[in-house]
A = this chain, B = another copy of it.
Amino acid sequence: MKTALSAIERFTRYQTDDAQSVEPVYCPVRDVLDRIGDKWSMLMIMTLATRPQRFSELRRAVRDISKRMLTQTLRDLERDGLITRHVFPTKPPSVEYRLAPLGQSLLEPMASLIDWADHRFADIHAARASFDGAQADVPR
């Protein structure tokens, strides 16, 4: 918990202060969170964690992503150096994606998030159910 708070306090320092007054306050956490905190990026990283995979394998693994978003997500991850893209000159060409070292380094922190998700999702669902049940007559 000590570690947690120190990291988070470091973050809040970006948020507060006079930094506020000046315009698009630059916050690395926001930056990175906006990047990997989108709908598909983490999922891609996790899917690529076990082994390199080709475009259509990825599509099969994450069945509800559209081609368009898959392309875009992979491109963005490549751009940020988290994955690499390898084209093989077969016909039709096959394209393999794999985690770059930077992407590998993300696995550890992401794993702890997954652990959390795994352990707590029951609690979340319980809370959700009770909230929805209680909503009957509570005005806002």
Considering only CB atoms, which chain B residue lies closest to A31 in the complex? Answer: B121
From known contacts A5-B107, A63-B20, A102-B124, infer whether A43 and B50 are also in contact, taking CB-CB under 8 Å: no
A41 CB, nearest partner CB in chain B, Å: 9
A68 CB-CB contact with B under 8 Å: no
Chain A interface size, as a band, is 35 or more
Copies per assembly: 2
Contacts of A21-73 to chain B: CB distance below 8 A: 25, 28-35, 37-39, 42-43, 46-47, 49-50, 60-63
A104 CB, nearest partner CB in chain B, Å: 8
A109 CB-CB contact with B under 8 Å: yes
A-B contact pairs, 28 of them (CB 8 A): A1-B107, A4-B111, A7-B111, A8-B50, A8-B107, A8-B114, A10-B114, A12-B46, A12-B61, A16-B61, A20-B60, A20-B63, A25-B63, A30-B43, A31-B117, A32-B124, A33-B117, A34-B39, A37-B37, A79-B132, A80-B127, A82-B127, A105-B120, A106-B116, A106-B120, A108-B116, A109-B113, A109-B116
